[in-house]
Structure 1
Amino acid sequence: MESIAQNKRFGDDKENNLFMFSLPSPDRPGKDLVSKLILRDVRVMKLLIKSLVDAPYCENLYRLGESEWSDSLKSDVVYAPLDHYRTSLPPVLIEIQNGINESFLARLIKYAVNIYEIYGQFPVILIIGIGRPLPRSIAEDAKVDVDRPYLWPFKLGFWKTQCFIMTKESLSRHLNQTPLPPLAAVGHFLTSQKWCA
């Protein structure tokens, strides 16, 4: 009987020790690192390229591009066309943002200029809002994409560059679609993450 009690106590201590374990802050789920790793996966990259770039069979003509800039800014993920297709296919910039606001949009314009300086074209931009709802001033400028209603096209500055916003709100009415379009599925996964303190 004594050995059972001892084992129970040992088990309790073992369980309590598990609660003492914690991940370093940058590696916690819901942080940028996890989302960036997912977006850098080749399979995910191909799904997003196929959904965002208006060119047939282009998903195999891209690679991960540079996302750290000479002005010390860092964007989340850039998909760059292979050198041979640099003049015919646009780069793609994916940004995951907890709160989309005017300050973020100003930074996004800087990212687009940096991409233009390297690749000679402005990027197609996808902003994935994973946190707070869009401010009214930004939501009023967003429209609904006819072919992809879970995306909200957004005019960024004075450029003709394609910019799309995808949030929980833009996805919410389309989650019952079967099968879920690949871009919407990736967006739903990323916007459903829980943030850790």
Structure 2
Amino acid sequence: MSKAMLANKEVMNLILTSIIGKHAKGQYMPRTCEWIDGKRADMIYGPMTPPSNLLPPVIVEVQNVVDELYMHRLQKYCNHIYETFDNIKPVALTICVKSIRWAQKMLRFIVNLNIFFFFFILTYFFFLS
């Protein structure tokens, strides 16, 4: 999947209605993905109206390998989004293309971290096998 496809309106609406709900269709637009510290996300969908819990900002990342380093980076992205969008908790979607490295250490990271956003991890392995 090309990251450029994430800006396509049909793809965006498919992702948003699947994650947020049918009320999200046509309510979002792609937003700037780069912050002052040089961090850059693949795609951020921001609501056209002021963000709320019903229409939270959504970050979409396409990742070859999901591991502990990636999870820390995603947490930083979500912190940036939280601050940018009036302290509204973002939703994170990770599309994992290759593999997930679920080491014991990573499981502890997910369980112990006070995460204020959701992780949706999709992997093609479930669909292709």
Partner residue in 2 for 1:164: 120
In structure 2, C-alpha distance between the alignment counterparts of 1:125 and 1:170, rounded to whole Å = 19
Percent identity among equivalent residues? 29
Structure 1 residues 157 and 59, CA, compared in 2 at 3 Å: closer, same or farther?
A: farther
Query: Secondary structure at 2:11's aligned position in 1?
Result: helix
In structure 2, C-alpha distance between the alignment counterparts of 1:57 and 1:124, rounded to whole Å = 16
- How many pairs does the alignment contain? 124
Question: Which one has a bigger Cα radius of gyration?
Answer: 1
Which stretches in structure 1 are left out of the alignment for 5+ residues? 1-33, 142-153, 174-197
Q: How does 1:52-67 map to 2 (within 5 A)?
A: 52-53=19-20, 55-67=21-33
Structure with bigger strand share is 2
2:78–2:117 CA contact under 8 A, matched in 1: no
Question: RMSD in angstroms over aligned alpha carbons?
Answer: 2.2
Which residue, out of 36, 42, 65, partners 1:99? Answer: 65
Which deviations, in whole Å up to 9, do the C-alpha atoms of 1:59-87 show, x marking residues without a partner? 11111112101111000000001134x12
AA aligned to 2:62 is I
In the superposition, the TM-score normalised over structure 1's length comes to: 0.57
Structure with bigger helix share is 1
In the superposition, the TM-score normalised over structure 2's length comes to: 0.84
Partner residue in 2 for 1:75: 41
In structure 2, C-alpha distance between the alignment counterparts of 1:128 and 1:157, rounded to whole Å = 21
AA aligned to 2:96 is G
Which deviations, in whole Å up to 9, do the C-alpha atoms of 1:153-179 show, x marking residues without a partner? x76931242111011223346xxxxxx
